[in-house]
Amino acid sequence: MKTVFLIVVGLIWTAVTLGGDFFAVNAIRQQLRAEHFPTVTGVITQNDIEITRSSKGGSNYTARLRFSYAVDGRAYVGDRHRYGSYAASAQHAEALASRYPVGAPVIVHFNPDDPADAILSPGIDGADVFVPFFLLPFNLILFGAVAWLARGKRPFDDPSAPISPLSAGISAFFVGWFVIVFTVAFASGFDPSLPVAIGAWGALTAITFGAAAYAVTQRTAR
């Protein structure tokens, strides 16, 4: 029974993690591709903020935009600001809504192979970089479990060793990740600027490898 439970949990974990990875990578791919789309001038026709309840009892806010544009004399209506957009904080939704008031002209980037596929903001922003960062521990646990099984369930380190660089690095990784995610979420509502998102990756890398390097020096000193 325990084995069945672990298999089910493992399959669910794998599906959710890989699904999140696909969503994040595909959004980045589409955003980069959209940078090369041709453009036309459109007009904002609708601008609303949708409020939904989150699973934790809070509220999620999403700016719902609609814009009209024409390609080769044919009229289209779009509703996508970016690929892979998600519900965020009230501040983010309000800032986005104020950026696109009804009646305002906008530059529309459309897919030349499918003009109905259009967005307003191509390229990479902080959220595109931060979502993969948020998924890091889920991928690390998945990778670690697969590697552990591949090794025949043998430990990666000598349990009798006084200080393990691998254990030190992993411990620092999870603590650093939690602190960074909490700080960014509190400060920006999970919508950091691109420099902040890149800085999060750099800080976590430094924390992880710094802890591992320190453990190596301590082990050598002993």
What is the Cα 49 distance to its own chain's centre? 22
In a domain, 141, yes or no: yes
Q: Distance of CA 16 to CAs 19, 60, 89, 127, 188, Å?
A: 5, 21, 23, 19, 25
What pLDDT does 159 receive? Answer: 56
Pairwise pLDDT comparison (155 vs 204), residue with the higher score? 204
What pLDDT does 57 receive? Answer: 65
Are 69 and 144 in the same domain? Answer: no
Which of 91, 119, 147 delimits the end of a domain? 119
Q: What average pLDDT does range 72-86 have in this prediction?
A: 90
Are 65 and 114 in the same domain? Answer: yes
Q: What average pLDDT does range 9-38 have in this prediction?
A: 94
Closest CA to 46 of 121, 106, 116: 106
- Predicted TM-score of the model (pTM): 0.83
Arithmetic mean of pLDDT over the chain: 88
What pLDDT does 51 receive? Answer: 77
The angle, 0 to 180 degrees and rounded to 10, between the axes of the packed helices 194-221 and 165-188 is 160
pLDDT at position 60 over 80: no
Distance CA 47, CA 100 (A): 7
Are 188 and 131 in the same domain? Answer: yes
What pLDDT does 150 receive? Answer: 80
Q: Distance of CA 3 to CAs 6, 56, 138, Å?
A: 5, 31, 21
What pLDDT does 147 receive? Answer: 84
Cα-Cα-Cα-Cα torsion 19, 79, 118, 124, nearest 10 degrees, comes to -50
In a domain, 28, yes or no: no
The three-point CA angle 45-110-66 to 5° equals: 15
Cα-Cα-Cα-Cα torsion 118, 122, 126, 129, nearest 10 degrees, comes to 90
Which percentage of the chain shows pLDDT scores above 90? 59
What pLDDT does 82 receive? Answer: 92
| Mean pLDDT lowest among 80-89, 123-132, 179-188 | 80-89
Distance CA 121, CA 62 (A): 16
What pLDDT does 84 receive? Answer: 78
DSSP state at residue 113: T
For the beta carbon of residue 92, count every other beta carbon within 10 angstroms.
Answer: 18
Which of 75, 102, 119 delimits the end of a domain? 119
Looking at the DSSP assignment, which residues form a beta bridge with residue 107? 41
Could you tell me the pLDDT band of residue 158, with boundaries at 50, 70 and 90? low
What pLDDT does 154 receive? Answer: 67
Residue 72 makes CB contacts below 8 A (sequence gap 6+) with 115
What pLDDT does 200 receive? Answer: 96
In a domain, 31, yes or no: no
Domain count across the chain: 2
In a domain, 84, yes or no: yes
Q: How far apart are the first and last CA of the chain?
A: 45
Output the six-digit token pair for 129: 């970089």
Are 9 and 68 in the same domain? Answer: no
Provide the residue range defining the domain that includes 159.
Answer: 2-20+126-221
Residue range 168-204, pLDDT digits in tens: 899 999 999 999 999 998 887 778 889 999 999 999 9
The dihedrals phi and psi of 16, each to the nearest 5 degrees, come to -65, -45
Which percentage of the chain shows pLDDT scores above 70? 89
pLDDT at position 152 over 80: no
